[in-house]
Structure 1
Amino acid sequence: MELQRLLLLGFLFLYVVQVAVAKFVVEKNSLTVTSPEKIKGNHDSAIGNFGIPQYGGSMAGAVVYPKDNRKGCMEFDRFGISFQSKPGSLPTFVLLDRGDCFFALKVWNAQKAGASAVLVADDVEEALITMDTPEEDSAAPKYIENITIPSALIEKSFGETLKKAINGEDMVNINLDWREAVPHPDDRVEYELWTNSNDECGVKCDMLMEFVKDFKGPAQILEKGGYTQFTPHYITWYCPQAFTLTRQCKSQCINHGRYCAPDPEQDFSSGYNGKDVVIENLRQLCVFRVANESKKPWVWWDYVTDFQIRCPMKEKKYNKECADAVIRSLGLDGQKIENCMGDPNADVDNPVLKEEQDAQIGKGSRGDVTILPTLVVNNRQYRGKLAKGAVLKAICSGFEETTEPAVCLSGDVETNECLDNNGGCWQDKVANITACKDTFRGRVCECPLVDGVQFKGDGYSHCEASGPGKCNINNGGCWHDAQNGHAYSACLDSEGGKCQCPSGFRGDGVKSCLDIDECKEKKACQCPECSCKNTWGSYDCTCNGDLLYIRDHDTCISKSATEVGSAWTAVWVIIIGLAIAAAGAYVVYKYRLRSYMDSEIRAIMSQYMPLDSQAEVPNHVSGDHA
């Protein structure tokens, strides 16, 4: 047993040495402090390798640093602490200290207490590291699979800054942003899964097998549509030179110790050997290569899921015969696959597995692959729970927004966070209006546009209708009521208009408007003959006897006097009008008649005598001839 342990440690040691020349990249998301003003700024945080980071989206929250259990190693309900956010308030981000227990346990305890995200402050000044799941915690499987909130590690100095602000009773608000955690250089997402055919390695193998089965459908839709380019990979180790001829090393390796895998049961004397795992891993790689050559790379998903179901180790069917049966059922060329695999006993490099070992080394922005299983999306290692919805969200975030395929908008991705406490956003339950908008990039608290009316506000604690038409939506949030067939509203349908009680009411216009008793307050119906009766929103005024109330003048007048006077007035107006017309006509007639007579008389008299206006008529006989 001691030799077995030494060999296993040797595999791991040599693997570490092998990748030491490369690099381990800590995947990060952006963290922005939005308040208070004195500590505003951007910071890096290392994404935890469990839970569900909101790839492609962002989250805003208020940071809380608990007074007790600050390392989060115990359940918070023991201390009477709850992080559940109240309706309309920002989600709660819990700040915890590193140390004393596993990272995943801290996050799990905070999640149970209602936290929406967890920030772990490092306890030493160092470069950020990746928080991973514990390998040696036997109780871990009970809670790791159930962690659904994101978490991140922050530097010690930044953690101290946050604690100081919180202890100074400042409201610390933070925005976590994963929108650029996965780059999106073009309209196709390239991703790879570093996996293993071993189904007896415990919880991680179970999670991996379940993921492959669940993710097969979306993966094939994306691949068939040309939206993605998928490549499977398998990690191998090599045997230390001093042990290549030992029975133990021969049972775990092929090609004379060049490609090895740990014993599935960690027992060299029973069950399957690491060699069996390496050969099946090689077969699955060649299945992918042959399927890819026939332009059907998605058949790999069919093979691995069928092999898991039909050829499990626990039923002693994990062998070549069962694998060949699966290959035939899928119509794959078995001979091509055999040729691709080569001779596992030859003392030469296997080109397929050699390529896999080279691919484990980080290149470009991608770090070394040291964790199994590992998903790489657009050359960035995915961090978080290996679950269908979470992984699909990460892959979909690799597309430019609005260019993602339909599968990215399906229920597999849109878990509808708005159904849980309305996503912590504002809502009007009466009008059934909410500021919560859920997409695969995460829920967003954003005041909505409803029937052409834009609501304005922060989206978390308040939103209110603004501009023309706002009164058509829940009366613009103002008071309104109806009684006895009369309806009143305090809403002013204008840009910037506030709630104002209508005439006949007084109040704040939002929660209440109370009827004014115009009769008691002597605001109307004050004439001596008047009798006042208050109504809801108005009043009625009547006059004593045979009198009529004139509301505009708040006075009473006689009905009969009004009727008779009005009739005689009309008659006299007509008579006077006719008289004036007749007199005018007579004057015109007399004037024109006199003018005519004058002209006639002047014409007659001009024949007999010169008139004053005419010259004397001349004598045409000359006096010189007399």
Structure 2
Amino acid sequence: MNCCARFVVEKNSLRVTSPEKIKGTHDSAIGNFGIPQYGGTLAGVVVYPKVNRKGCRSFGESGNSFKSKPGALPTFVLIDRGDCFFSIKVWNAQQAGAHAVLVADDVAEGLITMNTPEEDRSSAKYIENISIPSALVDKSFGETLKKTINGGDIVNVNLDWREAVPHPDDRVEYELWTNSNDECGVKCDILMEFVKDFKGAAQILEKGGYTQFTPHYITWYCPQAFTLSLQCKSQCINYGRYCAPDPEQDFTTGYEGKDVVIENLRQLCVFRVANGTGKPWMWWDYVTDFKIRCPMKAKRYNKDCADDVIRALGIDVKQIEQCMGDPNVDAENPVLKEEQDAQVGKGPRGDVTILPTIVVNNHQYRGKLAKVAVMKAICAGFEETTEPSICLSSGEFFCCTLLLETIKTDLITAACVADVETNECLENNGGCWQDKAANLTACRDTFRGRVCECPFVDGVRFSGDGYRHCEASGTGRCRINNGGCWHESRDEITYTACSEVGNSKCECPPGFKGDGIKTCEDIDECKEKKLCHCPECRCQNTWGTYECTCTGDRLYIRDRDRGACIGKAGAEVRASWAAIWVIVIGLAISGGGAYLIYKYRLRSYMDTEIRAIMAQYMPLDGQAEVPTHASDQA
């Protein structure tokens, strides 16, 4: 960075309303912790403690309580600067019941920003829990307040944050200066928690056209004389032009600073490519998913894991790579060069040197990095009457925050739910696993945003990471899309690699080989082992099994574990002679029967004729005379 950074102190107005003798308006510097009331005002009465005036000890030790009585104005505690961190002073006052803190400078100088110390785990416990606003006032005004209070007067003041953020129009431009390093301590943990928590609100604002968000990443450069040193080589890319601190502060092990620079560059390119497709809000999906899936502790902070996240979100990996360029060339990287230029303060905004930093309408945000606090600052940036309903004081945003924490449904309005709730699973399945054939998905829409969680369907539990893989397990798993296993049908025969017996893995059935998930290939049993068990036999492979045949005119017969071939021609000859004999015998029987019938009918006819002739000449007893043929003809 440049040798001389330009710092800008973000201010709000402090107006004394009584007593009359010190009425007036003064500047105060907004503290960089707690929750400033951006866009609003807070009136109170100033109290100057008689003991522990620097606030470095708990006020409970001296018996002081700053809790306001019912119906009274909130209490502002005036504390002297010195001897301990600003954040400790404010924390101790908050613990004693203060609603706000004014710190009186002990040096006659311009106002400075009250910042937090380099947090360790112990200090983070109280810094994160500071919820009241604080401000620094100059030495002269602080002395006036002390003198007036010690003289017995009641001092009433009004802290006004309404002009702390410019609000020229109906769209707010804001930036988040962030970092992909997840091993830099408390600040990294706070940053990533904020990104996950704020994602839903940020995407709603962006999709509605209410805001224009831009992520930024701080980089440093290595002096040219040291570009060949171990430190610069491990922390920088493009020959020392863009650097980041080593995550472990150890140049011989773990990840290097240049790994962080490359991932920062990748995240910038994700934003640029997504913005080019009209979906800039996908940056929030990428950074949150990358944090979950690719942490340094799991040794997955690398390109392969990042590419998996990018593909899951439906972003073109090749476009990202083209945007990133080559980190090993001795040349400027246009994306990172723009980032370094953007770090330099412009107009009312100072240089960005602290991570994380939020800039709203070109003014650096001061206060706790938390969803409610940042939303107040963003909402303060809209021109009056143009703010979205999520910002309304009647409470769409705060109403929905309350929904998450208390589930008091009587406080929830339909506008609240409609404004904040959005189903992220409707677009690209939220980047989660899905099985379109079975209409299954791991994407679950929640109030805070979508989560990728393997489903539980019809009594079947799916397990996996929810992003790339979900697999059915247990009884009944084969009912659902064959348990995600291979299956195929041919000629009304179906084989599947899914089995509910034994383990839950996909295993190809007998006669097939493969992974059981995507492929199972037919095994040629005839090549792998001798199966038909006779010299004259021939093995023929079929889909999933095999057949045994015999050479020549022979038939294959299997007897238990042995096979044999019999003569096919001899069998056919024997069958033919048998058929002939059956036919001959049948014909003989038929002919004999016909002859007997013919002989019987012939004999009956001749007998009748003889009897008729004899009756003409000598009638038989008891029989009338049979007419002659002549008589028949007359």
Q: How does 1:192-207 map to 2 (within 5 A)?
A: 192-207=175-190
Q: What per-residue deviation string (whole Å, max 9, x for no partner) do you get for residues 541-563 of structure 1? A: xxxxxxxxxxxxxxxxxxxxxxx
Partner of 1:46: helix, strand, or coil? strand
Q: What per-residue deviation string (whole Å, max 9, x for no partner) do you get for residues 176-234 of structure 1? A: 00001011111100000000001001110000000000000000000000000000000
Which residue identity lines up with residue 113 of structure 2 in the other structure?
A: T
Aligned length: 400
Is 1:310–1:317's contact at 8 Å kept on the other side of the alignment? yes
Give the TM-score taking structure 1 as reference length.
0.63
- Among 355, 367, 387, the alignment partner of 2:338 is 355
Q: Give the superposition deviation at 1:268.
A: 1.4
- Among 219, 237, 248, the alignment partner of 1:254 is 237
Q: How does 1:505-524 map to 2 (within 5 A)?
A: none
| Aligned twin of 1:141 | 124
| Aligned twin of 1:307 | 290
- Among 129, 146, 164, the alignment partner of 1:163 is 146
Q: How does 1:561-600 map to 2 (within 5 A)?
A: none
Which residue identity lines up with residue 115 of structure 1 in the other structure?
A: A
- Among 100, 109, 118, the alignment partner of 2:92 is 109
Is 1:388–1:412's contact at 8 Å kept on the other side of the alignment? no
Is 1:390–1:413's contact at 8 Å kept on the other side of the alignment? no
Partner of 2:102: helix, strand, or coil? strand
Is 2:120–2:185's contact at 8 Å kept on the other side of the alignment? no
Is 1:68–1:79's contact at 8 Å kept on the other side of the alignment? yes
- Among 261, 265, 276, the alignment partner of 2:259 is 276
The answer on 1:404 being equivalent to 2:391 is: no
Partner of 2:297: helix, strand, or coil? helix
Is 2:121–2:186's contact at 8 Å kept on the other side of the alignment? no
Partner of 2:326: helix, strand, or coil? coil
Greater CA drift, 285-294 or 245-254: 245-254
Q: How does 1:101-500 map to 2 (within 5 A)?
A: 101-135=84-118, 139-409=122-392, 410=395, 412-413=397-398
Within 1, Cα distance between the matches of 2:60 and 2:20? Answer: 33
| Aligned twin of 2:629 | none
Within 1, Cα distance between the matches of 2:245 and 2:43? Answer: 44
| Aligned twin of 2:452 | none
Partner of 1:300: helix, strand, or coil? helix
Which residue identity lines up with residue 404 of structure 1 in the other structure?
A: E
Is 2:221–2:242's contact at 8 Å kept on the other side of the alignment? yes
Within 1, Cα distance between the matches of 2:338 and 2:169? Answer: 26
Partner of 1:139: helix, strand, or coil? helix
Within 2, Cα distance between the matches of 1:114 and 1:73? Answer: 16
Instruction: Flag the 1:223–1:136 CA change in 2: closer, same or farther, 3 A.
Output: closer
| Aligned twin of 1:472 | none
Instruction: Flag the 1:415–1:44 CA change in 2: closer, same or farther, 3 A.
Output: farther
Within 1, Cα distance between the matches of 2:389 and 2:216? Answer: 27
Is 2:120–2:186's contact at 8 Å kept on the other side of the alignment? no
Q: Give the superposition deviation at 1:16.
A: 5.0
The answer on 1:66 being equivalent to 2:49 is: yes
Which residue identity lines up with residue 259 of structure 1 in the other structure?
A: Y
Which residue identity lines up with residue 79 of structure 1 in the other structure?
A: S
Partner of 1:140: helix, strand, or coil? helix
Within 2, Cα distance between the matches of 1:31 and 1:397? Answer: 18
Which residue identity lines up with residue 239 of structure 2 in the other structure?
A: H
Instruction: Flag the 1:325–1:349 CA change in 2: closer, same or farther, 3 A.
Output: same
Q: What per-residue deviation string (whole Å, max 9, x for no partner) do you get for residues 255-299 of structure 1? A: 000000001111112111100000000000000000000010001
Which residue identity lines up with residue 69 of structure 1 in the other structure?
A: N
Instruction: Flag the 1:304–1:137 CA change in 2: closer, same or farther, 3 A.
Output: closer
- Among 17, 25, 28, the alignment partner of 2:11 is 28
Q: What per-residue deviation string (whole Å, max 9, x for no partner) do you get for residues 511-561 of structure 1? A: xxxxxxxxxxxxxxxxxxxxxxxxxxxxxxxxxxxxxxxxxxxxxxxxxxx
The answer on 1:82 being equivalent to 2:65 is: yes
Partner of 2:200: helix, strand, or coil? helix
Instruction: Flag the 1:413–1:391 CA change in 2: closer, same or farther, 3 A.
Output: farther
Q: Give the superposition deviation at 1:60.
A: 0.1
Within 1, Cα distance between the matches of 2:273 and 2:146? Answer: 57
Greater CA drift, 402-411 or 314-323: 402-411
Partner of 1:369: helix, strand, or coil? coil
Q: Give the superposition deviation at 1:300.
A: 0.5
Within 2, Cα distance between the matches of 1:405 and 1:308? Answer: 30
Which residue identity lines up with residue 307 of structure 1 in the other structure?
A: F
Within 1, Cα distance between the matches of 2:398 and 2:253? Answer: 43
Partner of 1:164: helix, strand, or coil? helix
Which residue identity lines up with residue 127 of structure 2 in the other structure?
A: I
Instruction: Flag the 1:268–1:412 CA change in 2: closer, same or farther, 3 A.
Output: farther
Greater CA drift, 235-244 or 177-186: 235-244
Within 2, Cα distance between the matches of 1:109 and 1:274? Answer: 38
Q: What per-residue deviation string (whole Å, max 9, x for no partner) do you get for residues 123-158 of structure 1? A: 000000001000166531110000000000000000
Give the TM-score taking structure 2 as reference length.
0.62
Within 1, Cα distance between the matches of 2:130 and 2:400? Answer: 15
| Aligned twin of 2:33 | 50
Within 2, Cα distance between the matches of 1:375 and 1:414? Answer: 24
Within 1, Cα distance between the matches of 2:16 and 2:120? Answer: 34
Within 2, Cα distance between the matches of 1:103 and 1:347? Answer: 45
The runs of 5 or more residues in structure 1 that have no matched partner are 1-14, 418-626
Is 2:19–2:155's contact at 8 Å kept on the other side of the alignment? yes
Within 2, Cα distance between the matches of 1:285 and 1:83? Answer: 47
Which residue identity lines up with residue 243 of structure 1 in the other structure?
A: F
Is 2:43–2:157's contact at 8 Å kept on the other side of the alignment? yes
Is 1:103–1:132's contact at 8 Å kept on the other side of the alignment? yes
Q: Which has the higher contact order (CA 8 A, sep 6+)?
A: 1
Within 1, Cα distance between the matches of 2:169 and 2:385? Answer: 13
Computed over aligned residues only, the root mean square deviation of the Cα atoms, in angstroms, reads 1.4
Which residue identity lines up with residue 241 of structure 1 in the other structure?
A: Q
Within 1, Cα distance between the matches of 2:66 and 2:400? Answer: 22
- Among 60, 74, 79, the alignment partner of 1:91 is 74
Q: What per-residue deviation string (whole Å, max 9, x for no partner) do you get for residues 413-462 of structure 1? A: 46999xxxxxxxxxxxxxxxxxxxxxxxxxxxxxxxxxxxxxxxxxxxxx
Is 1:25–1:367's contact at 8 Å kept on the other side of the alignment? yes
Q: Give the superposition deviation at 1:31.
A: 0.3
Is 1:393–1:413's contact at 8 Å kept on the other side of the alignment? no
Within 2, Cα distance between the matches of 1:249 and 1:400? Answer: 47
Identity of aligned residues (%): 80
Q: What per-residue deviation string (whole Å, max 9, x for no partner) do you get for residues 5-43 of structure 1? A: xxxxxxxxxx351xx2x5211000000000000000000
Within 1, Cα distance between the matches of 2:371 and 2:269? Answer: 25
Is 2:45–2:75's contact at 8 Å kept on the other side of the alignment? yes
